[in-house]
Chain A
Amino acid sequence: MNLEKVIFGFFVLLAATLNFGFFIGDIANPDLHNIYELFAALAVSLIATVLKFGDRTQIGAVHLATSLVADLQLIAASVVWVWAREISAQGMTAVHTASMVSLSGGALLANLVSVVLLVTETVTFHRG
């Protein structure tokens, strides 16, 4: 067992699950989407990105790309939340909630690709 692989798999999966947990639920209802979950998803996603630094293989490059996409989407979702809560006069409306959650939905897709890559890598791994 390789500890580095365990940590890597843990963070990739955790990023996907947290993202999923935030995304699930009625898209326009702000009560169903906990902002702390979004924060945790973003932090874990950033850690996963850093973990993917410095891999020279082709699959490593795709891994890094998916993580960067997820980070971008999650940061955009956070900015939407900050805008709705602190800046706009209406507060968390259904429109704002929907746009924040759908952005995190895009990140979820990227995270799912990451997980698929992880699984593919594991399945095709042959102990020479």
Chain B
Amino acid sequence: MSNPLLIFWAQLFGRRGPISRAPSRVHIESSSQASSTIFLVMRRMRAPLIILIVIFSVSVVGLTLIPGIGPDGQPARISLFEAFYFMSYTATTIGFGELPWPFTPAQRLWVTVSIYLSVIGWAYAIGSLLTLVQDRSFRQALALRRFTRKVTRLREPFLLMVGYGRAGELLAKDFDALGQQLVVIDESSDRVDALDLGSYHADIPGLVADAANPHHLSAAGLEHPSCAGVLALTNDDETNLAVTMTAALLRPDLPVVSRTISAPIADRMRAFGNPAVVNPFDRFGEHLRLALNAPASYQLLTWLEAGPGAELPERGHPPAVGRWVMCGYGRFGRELTADLRAANLEVTIIEPAEQGAPEPGVIVGDASEPEVLVRADLPSAVGLVAGTDNDTTNLSMLATARRLNPQLFLAARQNQPTSAALFEAMRVDALLVPTEVVAHEVYAQISTPMLWRFIQEMPARGDQWAADLIQRLRHNCGRELPALWKVKLDGEQAPALSSWLAEGRVVLGDLLRSPEDRERRLRVVPLLLLRDGEAVLTPDGATVLARDDELLFAGHGSERRELESTLVVDSTGAYVLFDQHIPSSWVWRKLSRKSPTPSTPADRGGMTSHRG
């Protein structure tokens, strides 16, 4: 189908799925707030304008009533029009002089009074206008208007991001690299300024507003037909809950991803629809458990979650057995202790003050004091978690622990982005940066749902499988994570293959050949095959594809374009799949009387497993 006419025909009469979108049940008027402020501003200009009109009228009328002397020496009054002209240029400080003829002292007296009056009037009016322009609520109203207009004009699908903190910034970079449009709301004007200063390809509209207010969410395009999802990423659990609630009630069809560090809030979020709740502490525990049991799986997971262009992370070698010491038994410590204990590891807890009933293996004391750490018997432990919410405390604990036992596996929680350099210099083995965990998690869930499926099913396949896959990805795509993209083998994305797919003659290994030279394999790694809700991880070359199969590939853009030409152009498809040459124009096809479908399948001798 390289012929433009054929493509046009297929576009016009090809089957297409109906585009369904649940309409919003409630409509929220968001522009009324903005316009009300404009009205307030008009109202505030009333007094200065009226004073100006009064001063002007009195001066003009007064000037016409005072007798003057004409050029012929006879008493003459100047007309209303002349007086208006004179006052206009005098009051605005232009001052052409005494027109139409020189004034008498009486007239000059009146003009002096009216000059002072009119200067006061103008100063008052202009001053009020400038004050209004500086006014915070007025500027906010203008910003809201501009923002609303920008959002209304968006025609491509966009994600509504609430909270542009550290996590939001990381995510915005990832999504911008994928070409995904965003709309951002944040409470702090500093953060929205940072958004404006950020170097993004797309123009990302940002609004300074409280996102817990449904009006602001509506202004940010929650009810826009192109809104593709809502990300609640603020530091405040209540706000995230409010956003989740609003989105679930107004747009039940939208996917919602919400961040929280509290389990009860997570439960309350789940009461509304089916939001994906990201708890960074919880996820870090799961990651640490995965890292202990399957270092290669963990390496693959962090690589895939890090977004396009990420370097392959180092594979750690954490101790699989032994006793752990947990410093800081807050929310994070509790989550992590539960995870470690679930992995059948012994955990010694150090907590500053006794809370409730003493548990076994709890040492009471300040973990930043070296003697308390000595009591935890570090030389016999294998790992230490510095999990307080204070970076200085965490760093000093790590330093003391390393002095007492240099072999210790050190895990730490980083709270402030500014401490990143210190933790890096400390060379900790596992570092939790809550904002980064959130960013990676949300990226994996939103960028393509198939990646999320892959990540969920991946740990079950074992460590050796993950190590092999990393090898294969490195071999085909290099040390930097290639773009991940999905293909659905339907009439829209793979029109050239539809008849062959129905006959069951398309084999994955053949599909991944180069259209220029079918002996060359495309440097593309199929990660996941999704068919009728069933997922097959890393399908091998012998897999026979069917209609409506969904595939997730990893590979560079140039390879992707080659594969796309195979999927769309049927003569290319015939060459790549069956090594047959068919004419690409309709007339020549009729003349040559060749069916675009080859009668015999190509020999499958050259088809081997696609493992690299």
Contact = CB atoms under 8 A, between A and B. Distances in A.
Contact of B39 (A40, A54, A85): A54
Interface in A12-64: 35-36, 39-40, 43, 46-47, 50-51, 53-56
B81 A36 contact: no
B43 A53 contact: yes
B61 A36 contact: yes
A86 B99 CA distance: 14
A86 B85 CA distance: 12
Contacts of B60: 39
Contacts of B45: 50, 53
Nearest to A82: B81
A8 B64 CA distance: 29
Contacts of B36: 56
Interface string B152-184: 000000000000000000000000000000000
A50 B53 contact: yes
Contact of B42 (A36, A40, A43, A54): A54
Contact of B53 (A47, A54, A82): A47
A51 B79 contact: no
Nearest to B60: A39
B79 A85 contact: yes
Contacts of A55: 39
Given A39-B61, A43-B57, A47-B53, A53 B80 contact: no
Contact of B49 (A43, A50, A85): A50
A90 B219 CA distance: 62
Contact of A36 (B40, B50, B56, B80): B80
A46 B80 contact: no
Interface centre among A35, A46, A54 (most CB of B within 10 A): A54
Interface in B56-70: 56-57, 60-61, 64
B81 A50 contact: no
B46 interface: yes
Given A85-B79, A85-B81, A47 B54 contact: yes
A35 B81 CA distance: 10
B79 A86 contact: yes
Contacts of B43: 53-54
A35 B80 contact: yes
Contacts of B50: 47, 50-51
A76 to B, nearest CB: 15
A94 to B, nearest CB: 20
B47 to A, nearest CB: 9
Nearest to A56: B39
B38 to A, nearest CB: 9
Given A39-B61, A43-B53, A51 B46 contact: yes
Given A39-B60, A53-B49, 16 more contacts: A35-B80, A36-B61, A36-B80, A39-B80, A43-B56, A43-B57, A46-B53, A47-B53, A47-B54, A50-B49, A51-B50, A53-B46, A54-B39, A54-B41, A54-B46, A86-B81
Interface of B: 35-36, 39-46, 49-50, 53-54, 56-57, 60-61, 64, 79-81
30 contacts: A36-B64, A36-B80, A39-B61, A39-B80, A40-B57, A40-B61, A43-B56, A46-B53, A47-B50, A47-B54, A50-B45, A50-B46, A50-B49, A50-B50, A50-B53, A53-B43, A53-B45, A53-B46, A53-B49, A54-B40, A54-B41, A54-B43, A54-B44, A54-B46, A55-B39, A56-B36, A56-B39, A85-B79, A86-B79, A86-B81
Interface of A: 35-36, 39-40, 43, 46-47, 50-51, 53-56, 81-82, 85-86
